[in-house]
């Protein structure tokens, strides 16, 4: 197994966005159900990106989509926020899962590491500081000016590293993200995050494809890649 770079989904795969956003919401809007609010906010995520993916809207960074979506969700919850822009920065303060920071340090010894997220460079840079994620560079939606799972996002990220798709591995907790990456020619690693959507989560609990690697967490992923290089 020869990999020159590992690129990562971030929301869900690296960070526990749901608990973290709910924490920020609870601090600012004490009267709403913070988890329901976080879920509703995230619920607007795919539809907002879909308009851009299909070409009905030019590229708009996720920071701006989040702010538009926040206005919708505040309306649904009949809530008002004195400073919506400040609340929007909740997406820059997301806790990584416990294995992520130590795991990335191990993985960085083996290959280039970079986020390939739908988040912007600005969001990813601030999130990396908050969560101790030692990326070599930031790839993803802003580089491609498009949103995953459109294949241009994976391919633009691979090109930015001046590598071939087969030399790059996409790491994600979501089977659809890996399917799109594999269709673009990348290698794939599935790392389940069974509580991303809460304890009743029913999706993405197991690998749904024949991925290159299935790992328990980022430290296990580092171990498996190391072993495959020795073999």
Q: Which residues bind its own copies (CB under 8 A)?
A: 61, 63, 112, 114, 120-122, 124-126, 128-129, 134-139, 142-143, 160-163
C-alpha 148/C-alpha 218 separation (Å) is: 22
Nearest residue (CB) to its own copies, 34 versus 112: 112
> How many C-beta neighbours within 10 Å does residue 109 have?
10
* Residues contacting residue 62 through CB under 8 Å, at least 6 positions apart: 49, 91, 118, 119, 120, 123, 141
- Smallest gap from Cβ 138 to its own copies, in A, equals 4
Q: How far is the CB of 127 from its own copies (least distance, A)?
A: 10
Pairing of strands 213-214, 187-190: parallel
**Cβ contact 135:129 at 8 Å:** no
Nearest distance from C-beta of residue 173 to its own copies, angstroms:
23
Cα radius of gyration rounded to whole Å, the chain: 17
**Residue 229 CB, nearest approach to its own copies (Å):** 18
Q: What is the DSSP string of 137-158?
A: --EEHHHHTS-TTSHHHHHHHH
Give the number of other CB atoms < 10 A from CB of residue 25. Answer: 25
> Minimal distance in Å, beta carbon 59 to its own copies?
12
Q: Minimum distance from CB of 124 to its own copies (Å)? A: 7
Please tell me the distance from the alpha carbon of residue 94 to that of residue 20, in angstroms, as a whole number. 5
CB of 217 to its own copies, least distance (A): 24
Rounded-to-integer distance, Cα 113 and Cα 2, Å:
14
100's tokens: 């992520």
Kindly tell me the burial class for residue 10, based on how many C-beta atoms sit within 10 Å of its own C-beta (0-12, 13-18, 19 or more). buried
Whichever of 37 and 135 has its CB closer to its own copies, that residue is 135
């Amino acid at each position: 197994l020869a990999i020159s770079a590992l690129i990562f989904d971030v929301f869900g795969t690296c960070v526990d966005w749901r608990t973290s956003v709910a924490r920020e919401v609870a601090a600012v809007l004490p009267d709403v159900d913070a988890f329901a609010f976080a879920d509703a906010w995230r619920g607007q995520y795919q539809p907002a990106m879909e308009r851009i993916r299909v070409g009905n809207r030019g590229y708009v960074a996720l920071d701006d989509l989040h702010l538009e979506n926040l206005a919708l969700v505040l309306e649904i919850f009949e809530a008002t926020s004195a400073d919506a822009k400040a609340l929007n920065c909740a997406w820059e303060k997301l806790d990584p899962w416990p294995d992520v920071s130590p795991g990335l340090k191990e993985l960085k010894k083996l290959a280039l590491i970079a986020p390939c997220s739908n988040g912007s460079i600005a969001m990813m840079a601030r999130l990396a500081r908050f969560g101790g994620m030692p990326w070599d560079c930031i790839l993803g939606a802003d580089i491609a000016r498009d949103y995953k799972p459109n294949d241009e996002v994976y391919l633009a990220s691979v090109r930015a590293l001046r590598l071939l798709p087969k030399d790059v591995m996409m790491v994600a907790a979501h089977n659809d993200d890996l399917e799109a990456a594999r269709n673009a020619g990348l290698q794939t690693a599935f790392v389940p995050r069974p509580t991303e959507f809460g304890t009743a989560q029913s999706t993405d609990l197991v690998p749904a494809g024949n991925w290159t690697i299935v790992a328990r967490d980022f430290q296990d992923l580092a171990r498996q890649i190391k072993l495959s290089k020795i073999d």
